[in-house]
Structure 1
Amino acid sequence: MSTVKEQLIEKLIEDDENSQCKITIVGTGAVGMACAISILLKGLYGIKEELFLSIPCVLGRNGVSDVVKINLNSEEEALFKKSAETLWNIQKDLIF
């Protein structure tokens, strides 16, 4: 017979296998969750346009409480900016 804690962990692992989110279990029962959330990136990572991209964020009771800043090397940063530019070139012509 498993404990409540073990049942919760089993459920989290099962949910993790069926989602795009990554669940991390640390220590004795402390559970954290990281999920890529689309947020407005204007001013972050050198992006000047109003562009929404999925990046790792910390979610709190009132929504996004923090953006997880990832240190990118120069090649990764160039590729990220190229992706953002490609998406902006598509998005800028859309009418809402």
Structure 2
Amino acid sequence: MLLELFPYLSALLIEEVERQPDKVVLRTRVRSATGTCRCGQSSAQVHGRYVRRLRDVAVGGLGVVIELCVRRFRCENPACTAVTFAEQIAD
């Protein structure tokens, strides 16, 4: 049902939906187990996490907030200058 309303969230796992008086909060994370650095190296070594809060269009008169838990990975390429990178979501 939620993916019918929000098809662009298909790359995310919706872990919790909370209805508040004035909005709906979707707590999400990326489905994939790894991230890819800008150098092209894939990594599963998580360095940390943080939450991004994104506002979306209203549904049924309620505001929508997407709380996205984003992981930071360590780049395993010794030649890469990035050292760590945040995972990116396609589309």
Same fold (TM over 0.5): no
Normalised to the residue count of structure 1, the TM-score between the two structures is 0.27
Structure 2 length as normaliser, TM-score? 0.28
**Structure number with higher strand proportion:** 2
Structure richer in helix, relative to its length: 1
